Structure formats: C-alpha cells, structure tokens
Amino acid sequence: MSAEQMKLDIVISGVGGQGAILASDIIGKAAVLEGVPIRAAETHGMAQRGGSVVNHIRLGCELGSMIPLHGADVLLALEPAEALRYIDSLSDDGVVIVNTQPVFPITVTSGGDEYPDVSEIVDVLKSNHKVVAFNAFELAIEAGHPQAMNVVMIGAVSNYLPMGKDLLIDCIKGMVPLKTVDINVRAFELGRAQV
C-alpha cells in the first residue's frame, strides 16, 4: 500500500463514558499491526466527566496528531449533537457516520436547555455532507449489550479503513473483556452492514 492510500484522517466525537478512547485504540492497534504510521489525540482529565469529547486519529501520518479544521475524511459521531458540534472538522467531501441515539447533557436534564430534534440534526448534516445515520445503541442491544455501541460504530467505519476486517476483529477480541468477545464481534458485524 502506498503512503497516499494509507492516509485517512478520522475524528471521533462523543460523550465522556461512551468508549471513544477504546474505539480509537482499536483502530490504532490495527494500524500498527498493519505497519501503517499513526498519530492520535485524546480527551482526558477534566473533560471526561460526561463532557463532550473528541479524538483525532491520523492514519499514514508522521507529523502532528491534530487534524486541521475541515481536514477530516470521516467524522465518526457516537452521539448526534456531538456530530453537529464537530462538523467543521470534516472536509467538504468527507463522510459523517452518526449514531442517532441521543445522550442528554446535564444542561438539558437539570438545566433549561432543550435537546434538538435528532432528525433535524441529521437533515442539517445531510445538507452539506454524505451521511450514514443509524441507531447504533439499538444495534448494540441486539448484539447483546448497550455498551458495545462503540464497537458497532467501529464496524461501520471499518468500510473506510485501510486495514482488513479480520485484523480489526482480532484487535477487538484482544481488547474487550473476555466474556464480551462474542457480543463485540456481533456488534462489529452489525455496524459493518450499515454502510
């Protein structure tokens, strides 16, 4: 594979606790096993406590981990509001993969803010970008556990990655708790079929 073919900039956005870091770790480990240079940036510390989180992953990159504004090829959004919040990280011809299950922030649950209509969010995303929208939370439940939502999303994005499906599944098997391996493999397959 040429360096140019390996190049892919992915932004993963979501809510602290949804497993955005594990999602980016699966891609990262697979990339290293495939011999693809990789850089990633993560949200730790203060921002983790239920806050908005964003991870950058750059495949085929040997420079900095931060994807330039309007530079991402894929925006993998684990939550619909967090897709719109980070939409300007995506390039004009980039694709948004979005989980349509909302997570209400504290400003909505105990503040006065309102959560926008999810279909409206998706419509806005569609007005400028290619969008793959589906409820990954429900697919995770179908796979066996709602926490596998992040792996459903990895399955969906796997169609765009320069690594083989089997390698990704091997990485997932090695990185999730032993008793959840089957659930996560099912979650991956359900996600992969969405694109």
**Residue 13: CB minimum distance to other proteins, A:** 11
* 108 vs 195 by CB, closer to other proteins: 108
The tokens of 109 are what? 């649950």
Question: Residue 107: left if φ>0, alpha if ψ -120 to 50, beta else—which one?
Answer: alpha
Distance, in Å, from the CA atom of 88 to the CA atom of 24, rounded to the nearest integer, reads: 20
Q: Cβ(113)–Cβ(167) under 8 Å?
A: no
* 65 vs 180 by CB, closer to other proteins: 65
* 118 vs 194 by CB, closer to other proteins: 118
How long is the chain? 195
Residue 183: partners with Cβ closer than 8 Å, 6 or more residues away = 143, 144, 145, 148
**Residue 187: CB minimum distance to other proteins, A:** 18
Site of interaction with other proteins (CB under 8 A): 15-16, 24-25, 28-29, 31-33, 35, 37-52, 63-66, 68-71, 81-82, 84-85, 87-88, 90-92, 104-111, 113-116, 120-121, 123-124, 127-129
**Residue 12: CB minimum distance to other proteins, A:** 12
* 26 vs 194 by CB, closer to other proteins: 26
